[in-house]
Amino acid sequence: MPLGCYKSAVLDAGNPGMDELLREALGEVAEATTIATVKDVEVRWLGKKGRLTSLLKELGGLPPESRKARGAELNSFKQAVEQAVESRRIEVTRAEADDRARAERIDPTLPGHSMAAGRLHPLTRIVAEVEDLFERMGFHILDYPEAEREYFNFDGLNIPADHPARDTQDTFYLPGGNVLRTHTSPGQVRAMRGLTPPFRAIFPGRVYRCEATDASHEHTFHQVEGLMIDRSVSIANMLSSMMTLLEGVFRRKVEVRLRPGFFPFVEPGFELDLRCMVCGGDGCPVCKRSGWVELLPCGLVQPNVIRAGGLDPDEWEGWAFGLGLSRLVMMRYGIDDIRWLMAGDLRFARQF
Amino acid sequence: MKFSWNWLSDWVDLAGRPVSEVANRFTMTVAELEGVEAVGEGLRGVVVGRIATVGQHPNADKLKTVTVDLGGGRVVSGVSGAPNLVVGALVPVALPGVMLPGGNEVRATEIRGVPSGVVLLSEREMALSDDHSGVMILQPRDLSRRCFAGVTSDDASGLPFADGDDFPADLLASLPGKPLVDVVDVEDHVFEVDNKSLTHRPDLWGHHGLAREIAAMLGLPLKPLSDTFPVGPDAAIPVQVDSPIDCPRYMAMAYAGVSIAVSPFAVRHRLRAVGLRPINNVVDITNYVMMAVGQPVHSFDQRQLTGGQIVVRRALETEPFRLLDGRDLALSGEDLVIADALRPVALAGVMGGENSGIADDTVSVVLECATFNPSRVRRTAVRYGVRTDSSARFEKSLDPNLPPCAMAMFTSMLSAMSPGAHPTSRPADFASFSRQAVHIRLDPAFVSRRLGMDVPADRTRSILEHLGFLVSEEGGVFDVVVPSWRATKDVRIPEDLLEEIGRVIGYDQVPPLAPMAAVALVARLPRREMLATLRPVLAAECGLDEVMTYSFDSRALVTRLSFEPPDALALVNPISADAATMRTDLAPNLLGCVERNSARFPDAGIFEVGRVFRATVDTEGVPKQPYHLGVVAWRRLAKGRDESEALFRRVKGALLHLFGRLDLADAVIEDDFEGERRPWMHPNATVAVKVGATVVGSMGLVHPATMQALETPGVAVLAEIDIEALVVAPRKRRVFSPVPRFPSITNDLSLVAADDVRAGTLAAAIRLGGGPSLAAVELVAVYSGPPIPDGRRSLSFRMTFTAPDRTLSDVEVKEAIVRIVAHARAAGASMWGDEGSQES
Ligand SMILES: [Zn+2]
């Protein structure tokens, strides 16, 4: 109840003593500046042995007709003091917090505590991104052997023995007609044998080439292969899918071009170039001044490969691509030496 | 492979075409050009002069004074030390102010008292070759075709003059004063293409084939190769081909009257431009023919062919043979050789023999123009590591129609470059190849459908015809005849024709079109699904950094670890002796990481997920290659049991957390490991990792001997888990259990026990004693040291009591604790402070 209302009520009752008393109580409340003194005032006026209690005790001695009025008067007084105490308490509490805040200081330049979390290998991150991208488009995510039958790595991909293309892939040979796969392409034949067409799938993983290592060559690196098999598949379809892939990976519009490229397991085969993202096509060291960066080989699946996959090339067609993930990781993070990827060095691992 | 703009221009008229535009079109329609290099640059200031007079220098025996006619009545004089100054010769000269390649500026000077206002230039001074033996004297043969508009030649090489021809009088008069670059083709552009990108195109390994491709690309006419040539009167050299499958065609012809000499500048300049070293006229011609026609040819010194005959046969096993470059081989019965009556004289298609090569005194030559089986050439070249320009071409499956063209060019060039040389025999021509043309049925609608854009049938037809295909139509379908130079293996099926059409139209014309596909749920591989959770949990939640290491074991490392990997998969051709087997465990390479990292990172943990390999194969013959998870954590500064246990608990905690996040059944990581032991496993601190009852791996302290071998102080804990076992391990279904409605009571109990009493044993005793009201037991502290006597340690357990239906009374809890203490004592523990329990 607002104080003003009470005052008029008390004054209306024509009791100047009561009014004086209230002024005194409210004065004390107003003067209290700490929680403790507010409490003291509260006890002094409203407590068991407080002044209000003693006034209430006097009530019994009044005649019944004035007792009621006096009772109402005291009740109003009590409410007014209680209310004043409560709001003063809120004010004082707030004032004390403000005082504390004014006194409180920290040094915000102290370094943040590092979380003890470990880091994922950057290849894991890229693979997860690419897998997610393709899964969103309804691709199977598959995983095939790294030590692979020579048949799947070569013959099934239209690369018979003595084919000169075998030269270009420095192969690690294993006993028993096996090799360390030189590309993720063997998955094309395995996927066709394992899935029911139509389907689309990608298969990322480690591949191996028996070649000397340097800053840009590794005998072990990562690729992802993609394959779409359907009744009718065109170069236009492949081009669209490659652009979708690259826009997903780079998260921006991309400009690409297709050049003829020879791979025995696709016909026609292409090299897909990406408009250089460093110079925008004007020419810079990254793109060897050409404005284009060779990014991925792709093409329409060669009919012999479809046949090796156990399908009838008159019925089924496809496109396929291969993307170098190690290279993509290096582009993404500006890694200047491919050997970091497999070095198991925490100075590298902890940067991601 | 490198090829030259000028050389291409012998067959296709590229005049007025910007080099960069042709280069770009080539990249976009044929194969990527690695680069375009300008040759003969910086000679714009050099002009042709005619030596008018030569006189002796008054003050120097070795110097001459010369006057040079620059045409238009202009004559300059100078001093030269060149030994080959001849009055009347046309020579390149530079006047004062001209910059020469290499940045030298010609100045007017005085040489031993005689002023010199002109420099007569050697080839080296013009950076055209390293020849500095004298001034360069121009021959008619060197002149550019641009000097002879309208002059035609029957010379198969396309060059207008023969060596020894004199300059026609009109040229002698008009050439002096002209810029050298307008008279001689010193300026050229050399294109380089990666050999790999031409693997499938046997027709593109010579300039004529490249010119054909460029002509088709630009819609220009192509001058054909000549395949006719003069022949000699004698009978053909006897040629016997023992296995026609290895040699579908063999042509040979003999020439006499040869004199070995240096080739003219124009020939040397072209050879040098494409990366070949000029040697002598005969050898240079064979190289020139190979680069022009794409057909390797070989010249024998006829004197060395015993019996005057040629036998194409398999080598005898271990038959000795010395290559032209001096290497001695012991041949294999798989090699094809060219032999005379007695012995091999060449390794067919690869390299000639030292016994029969062209020598300085060679006067008669036998030329071989043949087609060899690509696989046989390739295997021989690989067997001896002798990859030559010749073998690189033969292994691409050359067109057997090329040898006559090569023979024609050789014959013509030989008579031009060695005046008097002439064929003495008719050509031998053994030919067993099929002349049956390859036909492909092509529906024009197929082209449009698979390209994804509308291509009119007549466009398809004209593109194919431009590329040399013959096209006829019947009922709307094309019958396409493949030209012989594309028919050896390159073009067989309609898809091959699709490529021809697509690349000529330009793939930039194809509009991207999203494929239509059926909506279907795509199943996930269980292992991939597990790994997708496992990796982030181990990194982000367990604080382990992910690494990837090679799939090979390092022999040096496993040897230091005293590890002989069982069932190891060995590589047939390892990259080094150190990396000769595939890893059987992730542990060795991870321990290698500990060694490499621990100095810089004294307290860390890493993990790797990857395949390990076995020599054992599956039913398909594929080596077994399960995925493993390896975890290793180390503390370089750790001392004592406390820190070892802390590290152990860190890794154990990580695995338990991981298994929980994978919803695997309750894991147990405390029972002794009973599987096959590795040398790095600690004898009494290695436990099995079990999910439910399934053993999925092992975990334990790394053996101190291993740490020593790694030269790493402190301790390490290693776990290796078989992910394939984890994938099929029992799973737990998460079920909600009601939150207790009544308050629980917590009590701590400190036990003291001998060191070898396990915490697990005491926890089990506590559980047994606590009965159903004991909801949880947790080890909160382990302590050893004063005042605990040596050999004993204190273990503090926090016990939580609760009941589902009521608040437990103090009495109930006290009774439970009494039972617990009794069981703990029975398990070998005493109470902290000798008696009773401490309650909090
Ligand atoms: Zn750029």
Q: If residue B763 lies in a helix (H) or strand (E), which one and from where to where?
A: helix B759-770
Q: Which among B518, B547, B613 is the nearest to A349, CB-wise?
A: B547
Q: Report the pLDDT value the prediction gives residue A16, as an integer from 0 to 100.
A: 52
Nearest-CA neighbor of A311 among A321, A325, A301?
A301
Q: Report the pLDDT value the prediction gives residue B147, as an integer from 0 to 100.
A: 63
Question: Which chain B residue is nearest to residue A232, measuring alpha carbons?
Answer: B450
Contacts of A186 in chain B (CB under 8 A): none
- Determine contact: B245 vs chain A, CB below 8 A: no
Neighbours of B239 (CB within 10 A): 20
Return the structure tokens found at B4: 């030259």
- Determine contact: A247 vs chain B, CB below 8 A: no
pLDDT in tens, chain A (352 residues): 444 444 444 444 445 578 888 899 999 999 999 999 999 999 999 998 888 888 888 888 888 888 888 888 888 989 999 999 999 999 999 999 999 999 998 888 888 887 778 999 999 999 999 999 999 999 999 999 999 999 999 999 999 887 766 766 689 999 999 999 999 999 999 999 999 999 999 999 999 999 889 988 999 999 999 999 999 999 999 999 999 999 998 899 999 999 999 999 999 999 999 998 888 888 888 888 888 988 999 999 999 999 999 999 999 999 999 999 999 999 889 899 999 999 999 999 999 9
Return the structure tokens found at B235: 């009978």
Q: If residue B818 lies in a helix (H) or strand (E), which one and from where to where?
A: helix B810-826
Return the structure tokens found at B295: 């057909």
Residue with tokens 């007792």: A67
Q: Report the pLDDT value the prediction gives residue B251, as an integer from 0 to 100.
A: 97
Work out the burial of residue B523: count CB atoms within 10 Å of its CB; fewer than 13 is exposed, 13-18 middle, 19 or more buried. exposed
Contacts of A347 in chain B (CB under 8 A): 600
**Can you list the pairs that A203-206 forms with residues at least 24 positions away whose Cβ atoms lie under 8 Å?**
A203/A141, A203/A142, A203/A143, A203/A144, A203/A227, A204/A127, A204/A130, A204/A131, A204/A141, A204/A143, A204/A325, A205/A143, A205/A144, A205/A146, A206/A146, A206/B551, A206/B610, A206/B611
| Residues 6 or more apart whose Cβ sits within 8 Å of residue B521 | none
What does the alpha-carbon distance between residue B408 and residue B230 come to, in Å, rounded to a whole number? 8
What does the alpha-carbon distance between residue B38 and residue B273 come to, in Å, rounded to a whole number? 10
> Do the Cβ atoms of B22 and B295 come closer than 8 Å?
no
What does the alpha-carbon distance between residue B518 and residue B525 come to, in Å, rounded to a whole number? 21
What does the alpha-carbon distance between residue B399 and residue B40 come to, in Å, rounded to a whole number? 34
Contacts of B653 in chain A (CB under 8 A): none
Contacts of A219 in chain B (CB under 8 A): 575
Q: Which among B31, B375, B613 is the nearest to A147, CB-wise?
A: B613
Q: Which among B31, B498, B547 is the nearest to A268, CB-wise?
A: B498
> Does the beta-carbon distance from B600 to A124 stay under 8 Å?
no
> Do the Cβ atoms of A235 and A300 come closer than 8 Å?
yes
- Determine contact: B838 vs chain A, CB below 8 A: no
The DSSP code sequence of B164-213 is TPPPPHHHHHHSTTSBHHHHBTT-EEEEEE-GGGGTT-GGGSSHHHHHHH
Ligand 1 geometric centre to CA of A247 (Å)? 18
What angle in degrees, to the nearest 10, is found between the helix axes of A64-103 and A35-46? 170
Measured in angstroms, the CA of A173 and the nearest CA of chain B are apart by 5
The conformational region for residue A13 under phi > 0 = left, psi -120 to 50 = alpha, else beta, is: alpha
Contacts of B548 in chain A (CB under 8 A): 121, 123, 341-342, 344
Contacts of B519 in chain A (CB under 8 A): 138
- Determine contact: A282 vs chain B, CB below 8 A: no
Distances B530 to A199, B539, B669 between C-alpha atoms, Å? 23, 14, 20
> Do the Cβ atoms of B605 and B654 come closer than 8 Å?
yes
> Do the Cβ atoms of B294 and B205 come closer than 8 Å?
yes
Nearest-CA neighbor of B423 among B141, B231, B613, B265?
B231
- Determine contact: A113 vs chain B, CB below 8 A: no
The DSSP code sequence of B504-564 is HH-GGGSPP-PPP----PPP--HHHHHHHHHHHIIIIIT-PEE----SEEPHHHHHHTT--
Phi/psi of residue B108, each to 5°? -75, 130
Neighbours of B185 (CB within 10 A): 25
> Does the beta-carbon distance from A124 to B517 stay under 8 Å?
no
Q: Which among B452, B550, B613 is the nearest to A342, CB-wise?
A: B550
> Does the beta-carbon distance from B538 to A118 stay under 8 Å?
yes
Distances B653 to A120, B237, B647 between C-alpha atoms, Å? 19, 86, 10
- Determine contact: B385 vs chain A, CB below 8 A: no
Ligand 1 geometric centre to CA of B26 (Å)? 20
Q: How far is CA B677 from the centre of its chain?
A: 41
Return the structure tokens found at B22: 């042709």
Question: Which chain A residue is nearest to residue B599, measuring alpha carbons?
Answer: A346
Q: What's the one-letter identity of residue B734?
A: R
Query: Which 3 state secondary structure label does DSSP give B780?
Result: strand
What does the alpha-carbon distance between residue B256 and residue B374 come to, in Å, rounded to a whole number? 32
Count residue pairs from A and B with Cβ separation < 8 A: 243
Q: ∠ at Cα A257 (A252, A261), nearest 5°?
A: 130
> Do the Cβ atoms of B135 and B85 come closer than 8 Å?
yes
- Determine contact: A261 vs chain B, CB below 8 A: yes
Ligand 1 geometric centre to CA of A279 (Å)? 4
Percent of chain A with pLDDT over 90: 65
What does the alpha-carbon distance between residue A178 and residue B441 come to, in Å, rounded to a whole number? 38
Contacts of B623 in chain A (CB under 8 A): 145, 147, 174, 176, 178
- Determine contact: B293 vs chain A, CB below 8 A: no
Residue with tokens 């703009």: B5
Contacts of A172 in chain B (CB under 8 A): 571-575
Q: Report the pLDDT value the prediction gives residue A321, as an integer from 0 to 100.
A: 97
ipTM tops the 0.95 cut? no
Return the structure tokens found at B81: 């030390």
Return the structure tokens found at B832: 């902290």
- Determine contact: A177 vs chain B, CB below 8 A: yes
CA pseudo-torsion sign A171, A173, A177, A182 = negative
Ligand 1 geometric centre to CA of A351 (Å)? 26
- Determine contact: B379 vs chain A, CB below 8 A: yes
What does the alpha-carbon distance between residue B388 and residue B780 come to, in Å, rounded to a whole number? 75
> Do the Cβ atoms of A127 and A155 come closer than 8 Å?
no
> Do the Cβ atoms of B758 and B795 come closer than 8 Å?
no
Percent of chain A with pLDDT over 70: 94
- Determine contact: A302 vs chain B, CB below 8 A: yes
Residues by chain with Cβ below 5 Å of ion ligand 1: A 276, 278-279, 284, 286-287
Can you give the pTM of this predicted structure?
0.84
Helices (H), A137-179: 150-153
What residues form DSSP beta bridges with B80? B64
Most A CBs within 10 Å, among B394, B450, B557, B576, to test the A interface: B450
Q: Report the pLDDT value the prediction gives residue B162, as an integer from 0 to 100.
A: 66
In chain A, residues 323-342 whose CB comes closer than 8 Å to chain B? 341-342
> Does the beta-carbon distance from A237 to B532 stay under 8 Å?
no
> Do the Cβ atoms of B600 and A342 come closer than 8 Å?
no
- Determine contact: B743 vs chain A, CB below 8 A: no
CA pseudo-torsion sign B439, B444, B447, B449 = negative
What does the alpha-carbon distance between residue B361 and residue B261 come to, in Å, rounded to a whole number? 10
Q: If residue B411 lies in a helix (H) or strand (E), which one and from where to where?
A: helix B402-417
The full 3-state SS of B426-442, as one line of letters, equals CCEEEECCCCCCEEEEE
> Do the Cβ atoms of B729 and B665 come closer than 8 Å?
yes
Ranges of chain B whose pLDDT falls below 50: 150-154, 156, 835-840
Query: Which 3 state secondary structure label does DSSP give B671?
Result: coil
Q: How far is CA B799 from the centre of its chain?
A: 65
Most A CBs within 10 Å, among B495, B586, B595, to test the A interface: B495
